[in-house]
Structure 1
């Protein structure tokens, strides 16, 4: 589609003045060509014009005029100004000294043809221009006529003779008050066209055999729609609409839904379809993308339809728990997140949770987090919660002591070792020791070593310490001795 632009029409020549010239311009290539022998009805395209294809000995650049053939119209002043800005950019790249160029739409000619005037800034010149490899080109956007009674059967462009210059000339240079007689670029008065031009005289090409006649014809036009995956930026499908120029078709039912596009709703989002020009439900007129052609089967416009991917997701993770009185579990413990069809974050309350966990009983418990999006896509994540028995453990041993003043006892004497819930070794200082031993008094003593792990599991070991009396003894007997020198 081509936007409608509002043009500004000059009411008199006094509203704009021509650049000050000190000689008539030197010109070349002031003609228009077309492809083939036909001009297509209802077409949009560009005239490629070369207003500055020869240097003018460092003089002020002239303004130039485009007089469109009958039935050909410009695409609006805003679009024309954009074309002028593009021409200036090209000229700067080729060394022209130019700051700006302003586009104006003048009043129509006496016979109803549109006229556009392009004025470079004062002081613009070609002092350092280099156009030896290529010329700067004005891509002039135009529309061709519809198949109506006011549209001629053919158009003629470029003048074979001086008498044809006013009626067939398209590109003219403003020469101010300078006149040139004869040759390939003679002048004619602006008044002969009936326009309020800022230049009194215009120069255009006259050359035998240069006239180009194009016959209006209808064409079969193909509009192309490239369907692009928004995530990969790759074309996933190409749709076309084919018909005679000027006919309309509706995008509704063609590109406005996944069903119309033939795309999988499990992969793409029905509400995330966008077209680069217009809306998804516009009525579109088949318009040739070129204004002239050597054939009657031509390309129309190419559009890009971007389709967003389904972003529905649920994520979670497996985990390990140790069974015990203090062990707890909630569905949020293994839930990492979820998104809706457009990638917007969801909360756990939006997700269906199936399964539960008994934290007191060892085993593997499956829990599933599921979500159904707006297109019916069901996504889920299954996680496993592994509940294992505690590895907490305490070990001690019985022992025997003999009562006596030198006999001692400490809790470490009967402690073998212990581990926590994860099997990590513990110290005696981590234990609770219940009971005591009096090593001076015989008897049986119970000592309990206990530990409560992080999950509340209680483990213990009771050791016996047996204190017995000493069995030490001394024996002797009475006797009688007779004193004497030999008695020992």
Structure 2
């Protein structure tokens, strides 16, 4: 409602104008027009453009207002995460998203299956490991019988035992001994001692006697249990238990090594325990041999060719036992003889001279074929044997009566070639006459078998003395230390009366020696001149030293191998002039003569021809011109390069090569300043001098003439299409506005324009015209124009400022998100214009 004041009236009158009355349509139309104009100018809040690329980064306006964004949180659970974010309100303050992050609530699903534990199952092997028993080789060869082997005994079928039992007795120390149980009694063969043609036996001696306890020659059923047995030494013959046990252990090893074609032993046995029993009633030594439980005869042994059974005493595996004969120095009467085996026995008679007996418990033996079962008590005269019954041979099967004699022992040595075992000196006595030769005498062989003594027996030109080595005995030579104490003993006890008048061989000491193996191998060679990689003697000479090792040429020339030898070298040129080794770096042809003198005075010679060619290394370079900024390296100026032998180098490289050659360059500018090639900048125009130096692998230096590198300025076109030459010396020079030079400003790198955004569609709203109360005009400054001069072409206005697209193009900033333009002055002007037009129309109607 409008209130009007009339100056001519003393009271105020309220006038009501009804716009809907007739004749008032002009006023309604005018007001409607004003409202329409006002509605069109309703202020609009600026909104940020929508980013259609789906970028989640928040767009921040210059005013600092942050546009809220919707964030989708992804959880690790199977179900999709739910976003609880409230819509962001477009307010002046920064919008804060209230979305709580979705928490990952999906815990790892436990596996229902328990993990399989990797438990190493320790498989227990039921089989006991086979023990490796070293075969103890005897140092004394088995004597070869001088008479024909006894006739092989035919097989006797064993009697089945009804309940075989054994008894437990004790040894000589009172320790209990259990006999060996056998299920059946086997048939024996070669169960005796063979002394060959011997008819005498020496006093005071020790030697080995061979026995054959286990022989399956006459067995027909396998497997058979291995039996325990007894050794009853002849009267006046003795032995130590330790020596007998050593013999048993060596015998087991020999049986285990005696195998068939499949590698299986004929006799399966692991141990053989020896016990010393009480002497017999006539004073003879008794030893009992007990095999391990489960030992057995597996099959009939075959001969060496594997085609027939093994027969005869000499072809069987022997047990060699060390025994001692009667002592001639003992008080009382000396024994004069000894009986070996039972001579001319009869069935049923006691074999008082037998040596071997098989234990059979309480079982019996069928008899026949010269073997008979006896009561153990009848044989021993005591009751301490583990078996009630034993089996021995009663027939004359090599029985002998040996007569005791006094002998002298001859100690001998032999020397053989190491690699061929050929005998050089064989079985030669070495003890002087001053040393007693009676059996049992002790001495130190090192006092006589000295290195000097042995060397004196050998040729100095054929054998290398330092290689002499003691190897024990000839049957099993093994390098070892010569013993310092030995006893004079005969090597065997089976001897004849024809040998008693001479010395009986005792110990034989075997030595090995190597032949001299000196050998020179000289070759010819070609080199290229130079101070390095020149000829060296070891390049063309090799070979073997006297002891068979590789010849160290360099050390032998220097005289550093006196125990082997030394090398003397002579070098002559093509004119026959003697020259030094250092002169072989000059081109020419040389002859080198080597002479090797070993430590024993032997000389070997060899010759080499050395050819030294001139060095063929070259380096060619050329001038170059490039434009500033062009990539350039020092090798670009190289047009050719060859190695010392003339081989072309297709890819030159600066610095040191694999063959030791070196390539370097010196760079100087026009002011004669030296520039480090590593920091040389080819973008600076100018003229540079390049001086190259090439040192080949042999030390020869090649220096070609210096060349020039010209770096030209770059050509830059101006706006009119003309080309100007930049010469500022920099890649991006700045142009001085006050200068008159020809420098050209290099434009900066253009920036990529931002991707245009699609403008949001205007939202049309119904606007109701409010009642307006006139107020004094106030100048409202644009928020972005505060403190700044108005841009050219833009007039400052009060109230809501309206900005056109053309004006935006000239302004520095765009309207910001949440900012409102309030053009009240413009809208008020339009309203007043509409009212003034209404008054004009009204007056015309009046």
TM over 0.5: yes
2:323 corresponds in structure 1 to: 143
CA-to-aligned-CA distance 1:191-220 (integer Å, 9 cap, x gap): 835584322333333347975211122456
Q: Which runs of 5+ in 2 are unaligned?
A: 1-136, 140-169, 303-308, 432-436, 473-479, 559-567, 570-579, 619-641, 649-693, 705-846
1:157 corresponds in structure 2 to: 340
Cα distance between partner residues in 2 of 1:219 and 1:147: 12
Q: Does 1:55 align with 2:219?
A: yes
Cα distance between partner residues in 2 of 1:78 and 1:2: 11
Cα distance between partner residues in 2 of 1:256 and 1:166: 52
Could you tell me which of 39, 58, 65 is aligned with 2:201?
39
Q: Call closer, same or farther: CA 1:44–1:389 in 2, change over 3 Å.
A: same
Cα distance between partner residues in 2 of 1:313 and 1:89: 43
1:287 corresponds in structure 2 to: 489
Q: Does 1:203 align with 2:391?
A: yes
Cα distance between partner residues in 2 of 1:215 and 1:223: 24
Cα distance between partner residues in 2 of 1:369 and 1:241: 43
- TM-score after normalising by structure 2: 0.40
Q: Which moved more, 1:232-241 or 1:55-64?
A: 55-64
Q: Is the CA contact (8 Å cut-off) linking 1:57 and 1:126 kept in structure 2?
A: no
Question: Structure 1 residue 11: deviation in Å?
Answer: 5.2
Could you tell me which of 246, 260, 274 is aligned with 1:78?
246
Q: Does 1:235 align with 2:423?
A: yes
Q: Call closer, same or farther: CA 1:82–1:334 in 2, change over 3 Å.
A: closer
Could you tell me which of 256, 274, 285 is aligned with 1:104?
274
Could you tell me which of 305, 309, 319 is aligned with 2:511?
305
CA-to-aligned-CA distance 1:199-250 (integer Å, 9 cap, x gap): 2333333347975211122456666644222244433332422896626676
Q: Which runs of 5+ in 1 are unaligned?
A: 4-8, 394-418, 426-451, 461-488
CA-to-aligned-CA distance 1:68-94 (integer Å, 9 cap, x gap): 113434543122221244346659899
Q: Call closer, same or farther: CA 1:361–1:282 in 2, change over 3 Å.
A: same
Could you tell me which of 134, 141, 146 is aligned with 2:311?
134
What SS does the corresponding residue of 2:583 show, helix, strand or coil?
Answer: coil
Cα distance between partner residues in 2 of 1:232 and 1:26: 45
Q: Is the CA contact (8 Å cut-off) linking 1:84 and 1:138 kept in structure 2?
A: no
Q: Is the CA contact (8 Å cut-off) linking 1:49 and 1:140 kept in structure 2?
A: no
Cα distance between partner residues in 1 of 2:192 and 2:385: 20
Cα distance between partner residues in 1 of 2:585 and 2:267: 87
Q: Which moved more, 1:272-281 or 1:309-318?
A: 309-318
Question: Structure 1 residue 349: deviation in Å?
Answer: 4.6
Counting matched residue pairs gives 412
Cα distance between partner residues in 1 of 2:585 and 2:346: 106
Q: Call closer, same or farther: CA 1:239–1:177 in 2, change over 3 Å.
A: closer
Higher share of residues assigned strand: 1
Question: Structure 1 residue 387: deviation in Å?
Answer: 3.8
Using CA pairs under 8 Å that are at least 6 residues apart, name the structure with larger relative contact order, 1 or 2.
1
1:257 corresponds in structure 2 to: 451
CA-to-aligned-CA distance 1:443-488 (integer Å, 9 cap, x gap): xxxxxxxxx9977599x9xxxxxxxxxxxxxxxxxxxxxxxxxxxx
Cα distance between partner residues in 1 of 2:584 and 2:208: 75
Q: Call closer, same or farther: CA 1:22–1:310 in 2, change over 3 Å.
A: closer
1:329 corresponds in structure 2 to: 534
Question: Structure 1 residue 162: deviation in Å?
Answer: 9.2
Aligned-residue CA RMSD in angstroms?
A: 5.2
1:464 corresponds in structure 2 to: none
Question: Structure 1 residue 122: deviation in Å?
Answer: 3.9
Could you tell me which of 569, 574, 581 is aligned with 1:356?
581
1:429 corresponds in structure 2 to: none
Cα distance between partner residues in 2 of 1:366 and 1:63: 81
Question: Structure 1 residue 348: deviation in Å?
Answer: 2.4
Q: How does 1:8-19 map to 2 (within 5 A)?
A: 10=171, 15-19=176-180
What SS does the corresponding residue of 1:320 show, helix, strand or coil?
Answer: strand
